[in-house]
Amino acid sequence: MKHWIVVLFALLIAACGARDEQAHGTGEDAGHGALAVDEVPKGTRGGRLLADGPFAVELAIFETGVPPEYHAWPTLNGQPVPPEQVDLTVELVRLGGQVDRFRFAPQGDFLRGDGVVTEPHSFTVSVRAAHAGKTYVWQFDSFEGRTTIDEAMAREAGIATEVAGPATLVEILPLYGRIVPDPARHREVNARFPGVIRSVRRQAGDTVRAGDTLATVESDQSLETYAVKAPIGGVVATRDANAGELSGERTLFTIVDHSAVWAELSVFPRDRARVRPGAAVTVRLADSNIATEGRIERVDVQAGANQAVTARASLPNPDGHFLPGSFVTAEVAVAAREVPLAVRKSALQPFRDFTVVFEKIGDTYEVRMLELGDAHGDWVEVLGGLALGAHYVTANSYLVKADVEKSGASHDH
């Protein structure tokens, strides 16, 4: 426990170094040094104020009622500059090298960017403004949902990744039922020739192999004694034979082979058409996590008193865990669909108002806000927000989230 506390502490501290956002100007008159996060100047509209001498641009991401877009308000000596007098461009460099460029056009009293600022809003921002024959350039980091973790430390903490790609989404239907013997592995043993039972070699509960002698009988016709043998291997379920009795035509022994059994599962009418012979099924004992895999063999065509029909699944049972009469739960695969991009459910984390995964590029991890589709089994379809082939965290992603939150990198608008 102490070891893991140390590892987690180290992870949380690793992000607390130099994550300050920087802003600097390189206009003709003056430049500005680095500014820490809590020193970032704000304009009257809540945006970031980029100043170079008397000229300034307030830059903000606006998303009230519209997809996120850039708005900008230029000023000179604190007074508004007509937007049509300013040529403004913004370039965003994202983790991994992707570059987004925005040109601005006048709209009312501000300049409006010509595209959507997609999530995450985490990038290095380069701003270029031209006014009255002068050019002003600013650059600053605006990171959110990003952290850097040394590879060795990530490995020690059990942070693992997989490559995002296609997957098969299997729709599962939960069912309930019980275990019954496989009729093909059930035998009733009679005497071949009526006579007197001379000996009984096996008792109820004994395990036998095919060919083992169960009893001996003296034939009434030949007066010769012959062996009554087990036709299959299994367990002696019942014994109705005692030395000195007449064998008659009754059943002397019942042998059941429980190395394979059936699960009788109840299927309600609304699901009847979805459960088909051949479907894969996972069956678990109701009172434990012991499970086995099998196939649906057949589905009854007549409903019972509760209007459910019975689906029968054949199950291997080499260890004998699934005893006849045991109650079970089952998961039947009723549909499967290939999707071009999916991630494991275990990778998902909440972040702000989004469901995210963390993409790994080098030693840096960053949120990816996902648009999700169908979810079945261990997988969930990704419709947007993550690129095919991206390396995303699948194990211990909560540690990456904790480190991101510790870093304090905010959603900067």
Per-residue model confidence as pLDDT tens digits over 211-252: 999 999 999 999 999 999 999 999 999 999 999 999 999 999
- Cα angle 74, 131, 26; round to 5: 90
Predicted confidence (pLDDT) at residue 29 exceeds the cutoff of 60? no
- Strands 134-142 and 123-131 turn out to be antiparallel
Dihedral in degrees, nearest 10, Cα atoms 375, 381, 385, 388: 150
Is residue 76 exposed (0-12), middle (13-18) or buried (19+ Cβ within 10 Å)? middle
List the domain boundaries for the chain: 20-142, 148-171+338-407, 172-181+259-333, 187-254
Q: Which fold is adopted by the domain 20-142?
A: Immunoglobulin-like (2.60.40)
Distance CA(248)–CA(167), nearest Å, equals: 62
The residue with tokens 């059990």 is 158
pTM tops 0.85? no
Length of the chain: 413
Comparing 20 with 209, the larger pLDDT belongs to 209
In this structure, what DSSP letter does residue 82 have?
P
Could you tell me which residues are beta bridge partners of residue 376?
379
Distance CA(380)–CA(390), nearest Å, equals: 16
* The pair of three-digit structure tokens given for residue 44, joined into one six-digit string: 């009257």
Comparing 24 with 206, the larger pLDDT belongs to 206
Contact between 324 and 361 under an 8 Å Cβ cutoff? The reply is no
Could you tell me which residues are beta bridge partners of residue 115?
none
Domain 148-171+338-407 of CATH type 2.40.420.20 = yes
Distance CA(44)–CA(50), nearest Å, equals: 12
Predicted confidence (pLDDT) at residue 31 exceeds the cutoff of 60? no
What per-residue confidence (pLDDT) applies to 33?
Answer: 34
Predicted confidence (pLDDT) at residue 52 exceeds the cutoff of 90? yes
Predicted confidence (pLDDT) at residue 290 exceeds the cutoff of 60? yes
* The pair of three-digit structure tokens given for residue 349, joined into one six-digit string: 């984390």
Q: Which fold is adopted by the domain 187-254?
A: OB fold (Dihydrolipoamide Acetyltransferase, E2P) (2.40.50)
In this structure, which CATH number among 3.40.980.10, 3.20.20.70, 3.40.470.10, 2.40.30.170 belongs to the domain 172-181+259-333? 2.40.30.170
- From residue 367, give the alpha-carbon distance in Å to each of 8, 137, 213: 19, 28, 70
Per-residue model confidence as pLDDT tens digits over 54-103: 999 999 999 999 999 999 999 999 999 999 999 999 999 999 999 999 99
Distance CA(399)–CA(401), nearest Å, equals: 5
